[in-house]
Structure 1
């Protein structure tokens, strides 16, 4: 038996319980995290039921990195894609998905739809002059990790140049993502709200009164 087979093991059906319990309406709304005991003390955790629009391979990559384990994505003829991980990772995976399902990677290529970090500003600033504000927010991720977003800078600025300066100034990683409604958004590792706000004002990019800092 290889490290991870290319199919769900036939000797044990880890999905039988869910099929029996959730055969009625609404089954597709559940994500099932299970553990399968293998030989000796070895076990295998499976994750089934994630929405199709998510990149399973990207989620797997993040899970492997976060919990230092091996894993793979297998294709079940009835259940579709299923994530498999070494060991009993049920608690870890469940916590990770709750905290990160809306923000799957360190920096995704689009603002996630499951979590809208801009909703607060959209509600507050729906009137005239909304575009004059730059919104600096932080999103708590798993554990102590957090992510800072900067949205609302004028289009004539080079976002990549500003990102480069921010990364160099505060010794952190970051990226520029494209949101279909909000345009370009800068993302930075960690809670950089105060640093970013001070930087933007001192660099003459934004006036102090035009910056709105948001909490968790």
Structure 2
């Protein structure tokens, strides 16, 4: 990616933690500062007036909330990426090992972090939720759940497929079926307080070159 002019002020991006590896690569050399976290927390901060120029969410509901709260430019909103869920672990285990064993399973906060919301909905849709519900460890982001399993603190995690690509120390045990009524989409938008330089960064995120990077890191088209 070609850098913008060095004199441009830093553009602040609030982005879902699951985007980190790919987005760091896309924005390498650009005058940006990126704050990663759970989409719900970031959306609330944007609505409370945090100095963000761009909001990149892992969940349409939280982008809806930011838009309804007047914090983003609705005309700039675009569903840029998609993702899917996987169960990861360290051992050559099967889904049955996850469902019938006693190992804990990490994922995001079930009520507010997108990966946790998606995980619960998907496992409920497949009739597997009751088997793991009592063993769920809730974290504040997809990457936090991934880290618990990568460090061996929790044997399994339900995370995004892109997270599995980013962490070679874990392996995919099971691809979680999608829930058609709750697609995993990543909307992108400029905030209502976006600086002049934010438009150029926003356009780079929409570019074909950026798309190639996101694809290489496990993201799909919406």
Q: Same fold (TM over 0.5)?
A: no
> Please, what TM-score do these two structures have when normalized by structure 2?
0.24
> Please, what TM-score do these two structures have when normalized by structure 1?
0.24
**Structure with greater Cα Rg:** 1
Of structures 1 and 2, the one scoring higher in RCO (CA 8 A, sep 6+) is: 2
